[in-house]
Amino acid sequence: MKVQKRSNLVRETLDDQDFFKDFRYGWRSDVNNNGDDTTFPRIFFPASPEGTIDYKTKSFNTTIRLTFEDLQGIDNYGADVEKSQQEYWDELLDNGVKFIQNLNTKFKQNGMSILDTSSMRYDTNSNVANTRLIIAWFEFSIYGKLDCI
């Protein structure tokens, strides 16, 4: 499974929903270096995928960590937003779960799937990389057949 294909499926899933407004793929250190056109809430797909390849079964298993981000206390134009940290996390977690469910549908349509949809690791944080960024990330593994052998 090509890294570009997985990234494209995340982008397609983003285009099919209304909550998240933007998608970025890159290094975690680039979180603040994506230009002025970044719109929140957004999805950040960190570069440097890792996983395993099974040549016997011609399959792969890759760990993915999607980060769902928003600006805390302000909107995309700098206006104040009265919302608690817990409310932001609830929105990011709820919409993140929905997003991943829809992403898994796209994965299945493309010959792969999330290994265990009954249990995914997640975490929340705030003031990450800058004082206005609040995040919730999910980590899960996908399985699929190799298309190169």
Instruction: Please write the tens of the pLDDT for every residue from 73-116.
Output: 999 999 999 999 999 999 999 999 999 999 999 999 999 999 88
Outline where DSSP puts E strands in the chain.
Answer: 22-26, 42-46, 50-54, 59-71, 112-114, 121-126, 133-145
Determine which of 9-13, 25-29, 40-44 has the lowest per-residue pLDDT on average. Answer: 25-29
Task: Round the average pLDDT of the chain to a whole number and report it.
Answer: 90
Q: Give CA–CA dist 96/20, Å, rounded.
A: 9
Q: Give CA–CA dist 110/107, Å, rounded.
A: 5
**What's the whole-model pTM score?**
0.91
Q: Which ranges of the chain would DSSP assign to H, the alpha helix?
A: 3-15, 85-109
Q: Give CA–CA dist 99/10, Å, rounded.
A: 9
